[in-house]
Chain A
């Protein structure tokens, strides 16, 4: 990019919102995991959609790569400007535009943080259900990765909660897909194509989210088991027995210990091998109590659980969920470097897959802690570098990834459940999906972005 480009862009966003070279904050060169890193030539902070349209027209004319970034909490390098060019920072487009209590929708700009959405709607007794672990992520980022979270078992993922999107296309034109409508059979589902496209097809400038009345009661159970297999098998059985929870998390001793020592807090009843953390919610206490009773009885009397412990007050929720919530940070802190595998499998296959993962850890002499949303089949598996030298680490990491993704595919699984493909997982996706699907995807990309300027080298 030239000085002339800088001047043109400065004229669009204003002096304060353009940074170049050494003045760009190095934190913007990578995402939260940090395995993919590169510096953009220009960092632009936008505050309104007209700026986005003008920037894209300019960039498209000159074929300057543009990488969109929110809060930078991703884990696969999707928000890293791997081709240099413009890093388009949406985090200041963070206005909540409209809460529509009749249509039960919330219109937001893409830079609004998830935690601000919860706060805004919950004080009105309303509920936005997706709950990815990272609450300081932007909604734009959540939509771009089709983020999931723990409540996906009952409420689905981000895609199920987006009614409409307003976007700027790579050529600078704007388009609106969907809206406040509940139903929509109007042509191809372009909104759903944008969701999960990780900033490669268009830039989200506004989203219309679906809301529902907030469930009045939420109660969880901490269910310890003697063996891993018993815990993992219980999750699909609960679903088979029609006591479908809001969330089912699987916890194991090793990940727990990391989190406990990292946080300096202990989980109650922390001396067991493995656990399910099962949540139910609803609008009447009786309804939730019934579910809790049924789930407790099934777990203890039929699935071989040691006991079922009730988590019903704020103190109890905090004592358990704080430790669960600290897993990723604790694992990160426990190793010199980590990389992650976010496979998703049919629920029934999880036991076999985790057994394979443990065998692999032993075979490669690598620590591989994990935890997972067993209710929806999504596992978070962490490869730890620990004391390995860089060369050995990279070799073993790639070998482990290759084997894990092949094994997942053999069990009917897919490369990513909620973190996305980004830059880091492209080859694994291409290998699994095959040429026919990849050709379709490349065709879609070329239709939206013929000059390949928008987040190049991501996904495909």
Chain B
């Protein structure tokens, strides 16, 4: 519900709440080949998709938009021109605007250079209240880009968000799930949050939205548009990380050992199976 108070504030400010979502195109399957010479992932243009965590980030943004009505969602991604496919998808899902961050000089960026580039992009857009990222990507898996963007922008960040409890005037109450505990925080705008899987049921791309964005041209933003135009701060040049080797992670499986009486073991087993919805 939009409170009267907030409506009045909105009218006085005459501004919409602005959310920026950072999304990424990733390989569609975990079966990705690595160039043995360079250690770089061989990206197959036909076998790509939006980073699954970003679906939840987008849904979080749309959730806020539905709660407040006066919200605009701007999705950005960094990558080659073909990466704009994920922006088209975001527009079809619920974003109002989309921009591609693309420049040959951004290529080969590590976590730090990527976060710096995106922070420059966000400064370029300006006027934001909330930046939403997926918790991590399924190709890089670092979960660091979001928090590093916040550091570059000098704003607070909240990671591992799994619930949006309340969107207030100028702040938001969030629940984050850590390994050992949940944390509920209220944080003022502007803020960056990273969203975990399961926070929402991500919506699907809509045919009607696709029609309404048929003539939308996604703007491309490059180094010349940024405040910091020094190419040494971007791409491979701006990346302190040296990749020595890339290899697929080993698969892990969790074993639960129940050692008690047969009756209790049975009960526990049933509980575990129920909890996992096998029963």
Contact = CB atoms under 8 A, between A and B. Distances in A.
A324 to B, nearest CB: 14
B202 A319 contact: yes
A263 B28 CA distance: 26
B52 A315 contact: yes
A319 B198 CA distance: 11
A284 B208 CA distance: 24
A220 to B, nearest CB: 10
A457 B208 CA distance: 55
Interface string A292-320: 00001101100000011111111110011
A285 B204 contact: no
Interface residues of B, number: 16
B201 A300 contact: no
Contacts of A316: 202, 204
Contacts of A265: 201
Interface size for chain A: under 10, 10 to 19, 20 to 34, or 35 or more residues?
20 to 34
B118 to A, nearest CB: 23
Given A222-B204, A300-B208, A313 B49 contact: yes
B202 A268 contact: yes
Given A263-B277, A285-B46, A315-B55, A309 B205 contact: yes
B203 interface: yes
A308 B209 CA distance: 10
B206 interface: yes
A307 B208 contact: yes
Interface in B91-109: 92
B277 A309 contact: no
A298 B28 CA distance: 29
Interface string A301-344: 00000011111111110011000000000000000000000000
Interface in A254-278: 263-270
A300 B204 contact: no
Contacts of B92: 310
Contacts of A297: 207
Contacts of B207: 221, 296-297, 299-300, 307-310
Contacts of B49: 313
Contacts of B52: 313, 315
Contact of B204 (A264, A266, A268, A314): A268
Contacts of A315: 52, 55, 202
Given A285-B46, A313-B28, A315-B52, A268 B203 contact: yes
Nearest to B29: A314
Interface string B183-216: 0000000000000000001111111100000000
B206 A319 contact: no
Nearest to A323: B201
A123 to B, nearest CB: 12
Contacts of A269: 203-204
B210 to A, nearest CB: 8
A314 B205 CA distance: 14
Contacts of A264: 277
Contacts of A311: 204
Interface string B254-279: 00000000000000000000000100
A319 B201 contact: yes
Contacts of B201: 265-268, 270, 319
B46 A309 contact: no
7 contacts: A264-B277, A268-B203, A299-B207, A309-B204, A309-B206, A310-B206, A313-B49
Which 5 residue pairs spanning A and B have beta carbons closest together?
Answer: A309-B204, A308-B207, A296-B207, A310-B205, A266-B201
